[in-house]
Amino acid sequence: MMFQENAEVLHNECIGADYYKIGLKCVSDYSIAKPGQFLMVKIADAPLLRRPFSIHRLLALKGKQQGLELLYKVVGTGTKKLSSYNAGDSLDLLGPLGNGFDIPENMKGVFIVGGGVGIAPLFFLASFLKDKGRDLSAFRVFIGCRSDDDLLCRGDFLELGMSVQFTTDDGSSGEKGLITEPLERAILQQKPDMVYACGPTPMLRETARIAEKHAIACQISIETMMACGMGACLGCVVHSKAHPDTYFHVCKDGPVFDAKDIRF
């Protein structure tokens, strides 16, 4: 099911550096959304049609689903414009789109790996699992970022009772280096049943390589450029590993894929 509506902006808060959280009051029932699904957002006066953003969190009031929240980084014209929206403004949303993460019943150990703003859909995944009554004690979160200013959602994951490890490229906080290094160390100590990842392509490539090397199931959410968002252009294609001449549309076939299916 997919909805289109003009949602009311509840808040649009700068959470440091160029990152914002925008809360949207929705009439549509987004409780049907799966973690990893995204919205196409029409930003007034921004060129081209819509911009894709992952659902970061569902908002509930007195237990009743009320809307959702997006976590975004200002990178260009559209996101700059989005950052100027105020409470009470309205924003045209289309969603939920895409396939979302597959969540097997019998997982015990789960490692969640986020790079930069790629952490956005992974928080929805963790809170969804918590709401479903999953025991998160053997779930671990690994966050990689450029510097301390780019470290997102650490407190949110800690509040869910998950252990969080993070790295920065410049060593300004946490361990200096790439997040895939502590990830592989942790896998060597205790192999999880599943790795979920979202972030820049080099991080996804290395995460997929490590998961395959240790024979662990791995799902990745890919954030390519998107023009139409509905399979009508070639703006978002990624190539199949098994059949290099064929490709997937991230907007229609993804954004979540089994890491083994993708040729990076």
Binding site for ligand FAD (CB under 6 A): 38, 46, 51-54, 70-73, 75-79, 117, 120, 223-226, 255
Q: In angstroms, rounded to a whole number, what is the distance separating the alpha carbons of residues 204 and 180?
A: 9
Stretch that binds ligand FES, among 4-12, 89-97, 156-164, 226-234 (CB under 6 A): 226-234
Is 48 among the residues that bind ligand FES (CB under 6 A)? no
Minimum distance between the CB of residue 264 and ligand FAD, rounded to whole angstroms?
Answer: 15
Q: Identify whether the C-beta of residue 220 lies closer than 8 Å to the C-beta of residue 204.
A: yes
Nearest residue to ligand FAD by CB is 76
Copy the structure tokens of residue 81: 């414009």
Is 228 among the residues that bind ligand FES (CB under 6 A)? yes
- Strands 64-73 and 19-25 turn out to be antiparallel
Task: Return the beta strands (E) in the chain as ranges.
Answer: 3-14, 19-25, 38-42, 51-54, 57-61, 64-73, 90-97, 110-115, 139-145, 163-168, 175-176, 194-198, 217-221, 237-240, 247-249, 256-258, 262-263
**CB nearer ligand FES, residue 51 or residue 249:** 249
Among the listed residues 176, 233, 243, 263, the single contact to ligand FES using CB under 6 A: 233
Footprint of ligand FES on 234-253 (CB under 6 A): 235-236, 249, 251
Greatest distance between any 2 Cα atoms in the chain: 51
Q: Which of 192, 258, 254, 196 is nearest to 224 (CA)?
A: 254
* Residue 178 touches which of ligand FES, ligand FAD, none (Cβ within 5-8 Å per kind): none
**CB nearer ligand FAD, residue 54 or residue 167:** 54
Residues in contact with ligand FES by CB under 6 A are: 226-229, 231-233, 235-236, 249, 251
